[in-house]
Structure 1
Amino acid sequence: MTTKPPKGHFNILYFASAGSYTSKNVEALPAPLPLRKLFATLEERYQGFRASVLDHSLVTINLTYVDVPGEDAAEEAEEIVIQEGDEVAIIPPVSSG
């Protein structure tokens, strides 16, 4: 169970290689944040994270899978914005043997 993020923030959960790369399981980031800016924001914090992990990962917001549009994506009428109190998960591919 994760703790509630501080006021004005959302939690981001890092699973598998995402947690290994960031050395964190959970982190609070300022909200609101347009979903299309999520990967660029994380890349600023963790250089090389996008190519190593994010570009191959699934993303959920409040347990619902979402497609992350590119930073240069045209403004959409119903753009998703990550809000205060939301829970975002970064789920890299995992393999089993």
Structure 2
Amino acid sequence: MTPKPPKGHFNILYFASAGSYTSKNVEALPAPLPLRKLFSTLEERYQGIRASVLDHSLVTINLAYADVPDDKAPEDKDEIVIQEGDEVAIIPPVSSG
């Protein structure tokens, strides 16, 4: 079971290569955070993760798939903002043989 994030934070779950890259399965990040800033925030913490993992991954927020907009895009009144208590998952492609 995933621990509840601290007050003012959301949980981010790392699967497969994302977990290998960060050496974590879960971590709490400050909320709120516009979804368009998620990848740049993670890149600041884990240099190189964007090109190696994130650009090829799916993202869910509270089990619903979400398209991550370009972080250079102008703010949109309808943009998704990750809120306190949300659960975000980074799901890289998985191959089997």
- Same topology, TM > 0.5: yes
TM-score (structure 1 length as normaliser): 0.98
Structure 1 runs (4+) greater than 6 angstroms displaced:
none
Q: Does the alignment pair 1:29 with 2:21?
A: no
Structure 1 partner of 2:83: 83
1:65 is paired with a residue whose SS is strand
Q: Percent identical across equivalent pairs?
A: 88
Which TM-score applies when normalising by structure 2? 0.98
CA distance in structure 1 between the partners assigned to 2:73 and 2:54 by the alignment: 17
Where structure 2 has 5 or more consecutive residues not aligned to the other structure, the ranges are: none
Gaps of 5+ in 1: none
Q: Which residue of 2 aligns with 1:56?
A: 56
Q: Who is 1:5 aligned against?
A: 5
Q: How many aligned positions are there?
A: 97
Counterpart AA for 2:15: F
Offset of 1:65 from its aligned partner? 0.1
Once residues 77 and 83 of structure 2 are traced to their aligned partners in structure 1, the CA distance between those partners, rounded to angstroms, is: 17
Deviations 1:61-89 (A, max 9, x none): 00000000011112222110000000000
CA distance in 1, matches of 2:17, 2:57: 10
Aligned to 2:96: 96
Aligned-pair Cα RMSD in Å: 0.5
CA distance in 2, matches of 1:76, 1:5: 27
Partner deviation per Cα, 1:23-71 (whole Å, 9 max, x = no partner): 0000000000000000000000000000000000000000000000011
Amino acid at match of 1:85: G
